[in-house]
Amino acid sequence: MEKPNTWSKDELLAYILLFIAHSDLDESKKEKEYILSRVDKSVYQRVHEKFEEDNDYQSIQNIVEGVKSHDYYRNDLADLFADIKLMAFADGEMDQMEKLAYNTLKKILK
């Protein structure tokens, strides 16, 4: 996968959702199903491979670069954070690590 500034909106969304899903170190079946409800399986697989190569710092840097270099969310991140919240609740509850990841993204993307 190329640099975040070349990612499609679906690739960026999949990467962000994977970041949230893995914030508690476990991507549940329901979380995977939610991501697949938002992006194609081929996008998911391609992005998942890239995500697995990156550490947490690289992931955050990729997310920031992807969001800032594209006009996908047009200075209104409400849709993105709605998706993130739905992702966090996909397995029934937003645990502490998911809440921390959500709040961290809110701070750095604003």
pLDDT tens digits for range 50-68: 999 999 999 999 999 998 8
Give the residue among 47, 53, 57 at the shortest CA–CA distance from 18. Answer: 47
Question: Half-sphere exposure of residue 106, counting CA atoms within 13 Å on the CB side?
Answer: 13
Angstrom CA distances, 67 to 3, 11, 77, stand at: 12, 11, 9
Say if residue 72's pLDDT is above 80: no
pTM beyond 0.85: the answer is yes
pLDDT tens digits for range 80-97: 889 889 988 988 888 899
Could you give the CA distance from residue 45 to residue 72 in angstroms, rounded to a whole number? 21
Question: Half-sphere exposure of residue 84, counting CA atoms within 13 Å on the CB side?
Answer: 23
| Domains recognised in the chain with CATH numbers | 4-109 (1.10.3680)
**42 or 92, which is more confident?**
42
Categorize the per-residue pLDDT at 40 as very low, low, confident or very high, splitting at 50, 70 and 90.
very high
